[in-house]
């Protein structure tokens, strides 16, 4: 690590380092998502196969390694500077954070569905059948124990991967770049979800703003990463989770 770079990093990361790190970690995701959106193709992803999860785990691990090497050797900055807060309490705190974010997402979805004239939910007071529940909210469980381990492992990696950059690294930027970096982070989070439609992208933008607010409140990254990991396992929808459980019972 270069001493001059280290002294500069003590004052915060330069905007160019945030830009390059973001390109390393999210450039291909943004390209895929934007291409799908511009071609008017949206994908309702409900579950990934074990092969998909394994390939993505390898891909994101390689990109994360490359990004961290760049930050350490070129920018003179280490993720040890971040406030991680990895404790049992912080891990458990991820659960209510997930529930709060999931309910918030459900509320946004209800409002957007109402504005778009979407069909009503299943009859109140009855357990919905799988046919009544939108495909995007159904809980699809892995078929094997190995599949569960792979799903959980990749979900946790993805939670760390996204929140590390979109909250942690972004907020390590120099003070005069911070607002611009936060706006860019929200747009990036929305941008790599456009393949699922603009309503999902808009919801993800709100989620990005909520993550910054939660980090300001909690001051630790780990609970946000855990909450994100839970959402990647069961879906960011408390209503969808309940429907999925009821559908299995």
pLDDT tens-digit map of 80-109: 999 999 999 999 999 999 999 999 999 998
Burial call 235-244: b when 16+ CB within 10 Å, e when fewer? bbbbbbbbbb
The secondary structure of 201-212 as a DSSP string is HHHHHHHHHHHH
**Mean pLDDT of the 226-247 span:** 82
Backbone dihedral angles phi then psi of residue 148, each to the nearest 5 degrees? -65, -45
Mean pLDDT of 50-79: 94
186 vs 49, residue with greater confidence = 186
Angle in degrees, CA 114, 248, 242, rounded to 5: 40
Task: Output 38 or 11, whichever has higher pLDDT.
Answer: 38
* Euclidean distance between CA atoms 128 and 167, whole angstroms: 37
| pTM score, whole prediction | 0.84
pLDDT classification of 133: cutoffs 50, 70, 90? very low
136/129 Cα distance (integer angstroms): 14
Q: What is the mean pLDDT of residues 107-124?
A: 70
Average pLDDT over residues 180-192: 96
């Amino acid at each position: 690590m270069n001493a001059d770079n280290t002294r500069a990093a003590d004052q915060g990361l330069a905007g160019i380092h945030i830009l390059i790190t973001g390109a390393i970690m999210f450039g291909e995701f943004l390209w895929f998502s934007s291409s799908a959106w511009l071609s008017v193709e949206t994908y309702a992803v409900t579950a990934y196969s074990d092969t998909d999860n394994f390939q993505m785990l390898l891909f994101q691990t390689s990109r994360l390694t490359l990004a961290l090497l760049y930050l350490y050797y070129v920018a003179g900055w280490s993720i040890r500077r971040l406030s991680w807060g990895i404790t049992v309490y912080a891990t458990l705190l991820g659960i209510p954070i997930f529930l709060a974010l999931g309910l918030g997402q459900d509320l946004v979805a209800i409002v957007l569905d109402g504005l778009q004239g979407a069909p009503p939910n299943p009859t109140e007071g009855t357990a919905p059948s799988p046919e009544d529940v939108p495909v995007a909210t159904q809980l699809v469980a892995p078929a094997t124990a190995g599949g569960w381990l792979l799903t959980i492992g990749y979900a946790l990696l993805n939670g760390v991967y996204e929140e590390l950059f979109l909250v942690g690294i972004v907020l390590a930027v120099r003070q005069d770049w911070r607002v611009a970096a936060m706006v860019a982070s929200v747009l990036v989070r929305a941008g790599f979800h456009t393949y699922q439609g603009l309503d999902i992208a808009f919801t993800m933008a709100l989620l990005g703003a909520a993550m910054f607010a939660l980090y300001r409140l909690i001051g630790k990254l780990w609970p946000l990463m855990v909450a994100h990991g839970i959402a990647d396992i069961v879906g960011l929808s408390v209503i969808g989770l309940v429907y999925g459980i009821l559908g299995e019972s």
